[in-house]
């Protein structure tokens, strides 16, 4: 929350994608810095510096905990610093209905960012200078917004380094492919290369569509004399996906991904009549041992293939700790 901010579709400001909004941004009357230096942000930073974590921070599945001394040394005050990254939630709607996602929960309502806010967003990003990292995604699929290429194109034109997480699960027209080819980085959300499991858990997602889009983005970049976006892959690990992690790793190497991030499952209530998934940490010991071995094999395949690996929140450490605890208990 010192150097990062996220704008929701309603232009509310969040300190991270896992935290509630701490204040609205009205471009006509306030700067984003005003909101980032408001009392709620100062309170959050104070708590982080002291180690008095909110329930949200204490249960964070994205970042590992660090010693209080490290946090206080890195951030000597509760004042905001210059932004190093901005995330814009263009939409909280999605073209998929993954069984483990909040979008599939009853009563969920997605929302698009208003096109009338595009000018303010472009001005904000432009003021940060060229190559400033902007992520165009939040809890939805950015490319599901009817005018996503308009905002993306304007941000690219002022020199922003655009990043996005996307499922690449639908057909794109030439204009969309050309726009994607200018991005700095694209992270593809994909948990398995098993077509049956993909269909059951991600619903409407087909691997050939993803592969075709990757190829066409590369082709459009080549036609424009561009190197194309850096490609990474984001994988949610759950009780049904862990056996296939080595196969997913081989796919990432074959497709030329530069990095893979493994994410722990955030569990929502089961959906009736669906193939529901569950956290690996809740499995029996024997399955947990298998899952850890599968993840470690996948990591080795990736590293040997020159692909960087990140385990978000170091969640595998909690698996190891549980196994050690079970062993100590007999």
- Asked if pLDDT for residue 330 goes beyond 60, the answer is no
Per-residue pLDDT at 82 exceeds 90: yes
7 vs 36: CA distance, rounded Å: 11
**Cβ pair 145, 121 in contact under 8 A:** no
Q: What is the mean pLDDT of residues 294-302?
A: 98
pTM for this model (two decimals) = 0.92
In the chain, the percentage of residues whose pLDDT exceeds 90 is: 88
Is residue 139 pLDDT above 90, yes or no?
Answer: no
d(CA 89, CA 137): 5
Q: What strand order describes the sheet that includes 4-7? A: 23-24, 12-14, 4-7, 85-88, 133-135, 161-166, 185-189, 230-237, 259-264, 308-311
Q: How confident is the model at residue 65 (pLDDT cuts 50, 70, 90)?
A: confident
């Amino acid at each position: 929350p010192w150097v990062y901010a996220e704008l929701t579709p309603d232009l509310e400001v969040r300190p991270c994608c896992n935290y509630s909004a701490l204040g609205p941004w009205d471009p006509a009357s306030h700067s984003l810095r005003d909101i980032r230096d408001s009392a709620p942000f100062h309170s959050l930073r104070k708590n982080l510096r002291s180690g008095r974590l909110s329930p949200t921070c204490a249960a964070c599945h994205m970042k590992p905990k660090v010693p209080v001394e490290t946090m206080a040394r890195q951030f000597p005050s509760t004042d905001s610093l210059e932004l190093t990254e901005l995330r814009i939630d263009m939409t909280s709607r999605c073209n998929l209905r993954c069984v483990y996602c909040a979008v599939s929960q009853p009563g969920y309502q997605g929302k698009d960012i208003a096109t009338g806010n595009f000018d303010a967003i472009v001005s904000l990003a432009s003021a940060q200078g060229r190559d400033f990292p902007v992520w165009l995604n939040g809890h939805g699929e950015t490319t599901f917004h009817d005018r996503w290429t308009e905002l993306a194109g304007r941000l690219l034109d002022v020199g922003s380094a655009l990043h996005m997480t996307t499922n690449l699960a639908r057909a794109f027209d030439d204009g969309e492919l050309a726009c994607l080819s200018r991005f700095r980085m694209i992270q593809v959300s994909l948990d398995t290369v098993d077509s049956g499991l993909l269909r059951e858990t991600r619903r409407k997602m087909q691997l050939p569509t993803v592969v075709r889009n990757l190829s066409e983005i590369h082709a459009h970049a080549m036609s424009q004399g561009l190197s194309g976006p850096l490609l990474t892959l984001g994988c949610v690990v759950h009780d049904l996906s862990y056996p296939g992690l080595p196969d997913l790793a081989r796919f990432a190497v074959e497709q030329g991904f530069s990095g893979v991030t493994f994410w722990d499952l955030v569990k929502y209530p089961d959906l009736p009549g669906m193939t529901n998934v569950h956290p690996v940490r809740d499995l029996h010991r024997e399955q947990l041992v298998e899952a850890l071995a599968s993840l470690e094999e996948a990591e080795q395949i990736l590293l040997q293939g020159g692909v960087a690996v990140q385990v978000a929140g170091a969640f595998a450490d909690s698996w190891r700790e549980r196994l050690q605890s079970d062993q100590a208990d007999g």
